[in-house]
Structure 1
Amino acid sequence: MALLYTANTSLDGYTVDSSGSFDFTVPSEEVHAFINDRQRPIGTYLYGRRMYETMRVWQELPGDRDSEVVADYAGIWQAADKVVYSATLPEVGTPRTRLERVFEPDAVRSLVDASDADVAVGGPTIAAAAFRAGLVAQVELFVSPVSVGGGLPALPLGVRLELALRDQRVFENGTVYLRYDVSPPAA
């Protein structure tokens, strides 16, 4: 199995803008359905505190007004295990979730190696630690057709990544999907 990183990003490479908003990445139904299919095989999500706090809304969905696509993703998220890395979060409040105080690369490597399903790292901050440790095998970017001019970068600064394009798709709303394999770091 492998450690995967998926991010919704602006064309200029940010997951959130300078005010912390990610509303520019809200996917269309078509894009969301595609994301669901890509996320369905994930057995475990690794999150930092902020990403976990953003994602835990999926535990309460779907609501009466939510689409089938939203309901489908809620089921995918609820069925997966979650590991949250935070030194400040007092506790986690969702099932199938455990809290770790420190991101330990060797422990993550062991978790991925022992898993019978792929593991996904969510959120650019915790992903940066995984990239620096050479743990990420694949990157999936959903690039929204907007430039936000600054914010939190999708890919880590100060880390050189050798990427090989493996798949791409353009959606009706202008979003572009890019999937890359990550070459292992040079020894």
Structure 2
Amino acid sequence: MGRLICTGITSLDGFIADEQGRFDWSTPSEEVHAFVNDLERPIGTHLLGRRLYEVMRFWENAHTRPGMSPAMLDFATLWRATDKIVYSTTLTSAGTERTRVERTFVPEEIRNLKLAADRDISVGGPDLARHAFRAGLVDEVRVFLSPVVVGGGTAFLPERIRCTLDLIEDERFTNGAVFLRYRVNT
């Protein structure tokens, strides 16, 4: 059985993008990126909202771009090796390999996916994560706190969701970022 994991790189005040939609302040250092890659290795399927998918499409061809660091090349390989399910009412088809588009998030389908999975599943994008949290499907929350306060924007965690968490791992990085890994209590 796979776990459903919600991961984000956020500002200290909990935003994945600032009020202008920028997230350049969250670009991970090589050290952080290598750590992210190790967390991504067990992921077999990504559940993505449309906006996050459009950002992540970069990784489909990143290995062909000049100047990619070893950690970036490794992540591109990991990205291409996973299945992706994009939830969108506007996309008619996906432009990446191993990707399918679904119109609606159906909790029972995700429960069945988790039961049948031999690898973990990630959920990304605040709107999609909200549906997964409300359905009680999220098993872990992983957050990389960037040493910056942006004052507003797109929140990582959905509003009006309450759950208790157990800290099961933490890590500090030389660039001031901090990783926190929590198990969701059900």
- Distance, in Å, in 2 between the alignment partners of 1:35 and 1:123 is 17
- The residue that corresponds to 1:175 in the other structure is 177
**C-alpha displacement of 1:55:** 0.3
- The residue that corresponds to 1:57 in the other structure is 58
Gaps of 5+ in 2: none
Provide the aligned C-alpha RMSD in A.
0.7
DSSP-derived class of the 2:139 partner: strand
- The residue that corresponds to 1:68 in the other structure is 70
- Distance, in Å, in 2 between the alignment partners of 1:183 and 1:86 is 29
DSSP-derived class of the 1:181 partner: strand
- Distance, in Å, in 1 between the alignment partners of 2:132 and 2:111 is 10
TM-score with structure 2 setting the length: 0.97
**C-alpha displacement of 1:25:** 0.7
The size of the alignment, in residue pairs, is: 184
**C-alpha displacement of 1:125:** 1.7
Residue 148 (structure 2) pairs with residue 146 (structure 1): yes
- The residue that corresponds to 1:122 in the other structure is 124
- The residue that corresponds to 1:47 in the other structure is 48
| Deviation readout 1:49-106 (Å, 9 max, x if unpaired) | 0011000110011222111110000000000000000011121111100110000011
TM-score with structure 1 setting the length: 0.97
Percent identity reads 52
Gaps of 5+ in 1: none
- Distance, in Å, in 1 between the alignment partners of 2:153 and 2:141 is 20
- Distance, in Å, in 2 between the alignment partners of 1:153 and 1:168 is 21
- The residue that corresponds to 1:103 in the other structure is 105
- Distance, in Å, in 1 between the alignment partners of 2:171 and 2:153 is 25
DSSP-derived class of the 1:136 partner: coil
- The residue that corresponds to 2:32 in the other structure is 31
Larger deviation: 142-151 or 122-131? 122-131
| Deviation readout 1:103-146 (Å, 9 max, x if unpaired) | 00111111111111000001222111101111000000000010
- Distance, in Å, in 1 between the alignment partners of 2:116 and 2:183 is 21
- The residue that corresponds to 2:20 in the other structure is 19
